Amino acid sequence: MKRFEDRVAVITGGASGLGRALGERFGAAGVKVVLADINEQMLAETAETLRARGVTLATRRTDVAKGEDVERLADFALETFGAVHIVCNNAGVAPLGVLWEADESDWRWALGVNVWGVIYGVRVFTPILLGQGDEGHIVNTASVAGLISPPGMGIYSVTKHAVVALTETLHHDLAAKTDKVKCSVVCPAYFPSNIAYSERNRPAELRSERPKSEEDIARELQLFKAVKSGRLSAYDVADAAFAAVRDERFYVLTHPRILPAVESRAREILEGRNPASPLRQGPPE
């Protein structure tokens, strides 16, 4: 996609972190932005800030785990701006813990937002992009946890591996259909965002009743520290995603230091070796 002026982008998880940065980056290029998020207060605060920076935007409270909400989001975008050209399925949550201790509610929450949110985004918006007969691009936010499997992050990794697989297949399906609509998958490592605070938006009916262990608390503190100390910012990741849309590049791997772990996993598979922890040299920065 070479022209961005007066295009329209829909961005989920748009109230903070990468979603907010994507909104600002695309908006700076002249794209009209629809920001969607489940947190209405943060969404309103972000919208006020971005409008003050010259971004043309609209907002819509959306729970991406509900298909009807995503359908209403698409209707809202079309009613507001008349078209949709870029879709960023970005909303995400990050429950932690060893797999056998996870509640069913942990799985339902993460699968609902991280996987079904992307499924609904693709199912609802792809026909719109194809039907317009114009350039379009879908950006799905995964993670390096979609390429490796760190300990203590099993639920998150399952969801992000699903997003990578879904987007790779989407790439092939689109290529067989059109040369105008493309897609990308974003796989960052740690960067300052609100993913470590995603519990604040967890629906009451999906709250976990399991008391946190000392390991749980230590793991959460490690995540907070890793996210806060990430060397790249959300705006760096947003710049990389924007460049991928512009250059029609599929894989967006923003943290080169994680690539040896990705390569090691591939070699372990090909050589039939047991997997080593991708964090054996510390968390990626």
Protein fold of 8-271:
Rossmann fold (3.40.50)
The catalytic position among 156, 190, 197, 251 is: 156
The confidence score (pLDDT) of residue 274 equals 96
pLDDT < 50 positions in the chain: 283-285
- In the chain, what are the domain boundaries? 8-271
Q: Nearest-CA neighbor of 93 among 46, 45, 137, 158?
A: 158
The three-point CA angle 110-113-119 to 5° equals: 120
The confidence score (pLDDT) of residue 198 equals 72
The confidence score (pLDDT) of residue 120 equals 98
The confidence score (pLDDT) of residue 199 equals 77
The confidence score (pLDDT) of residue 97 equals 87
pLDDT in tens, 206-223: 887 776 766 766 666 665
**Helix 234-247 with 17-28: angle, nearest 10 deg:** 50
Q: Nearest-CA neighbor of 156 among 199, 96, 198?
A: 96
Query: Token pair of 40, please?
Result: 């209405």
- Is 190 tagged catalytic? no
pTM of the model: 0.90
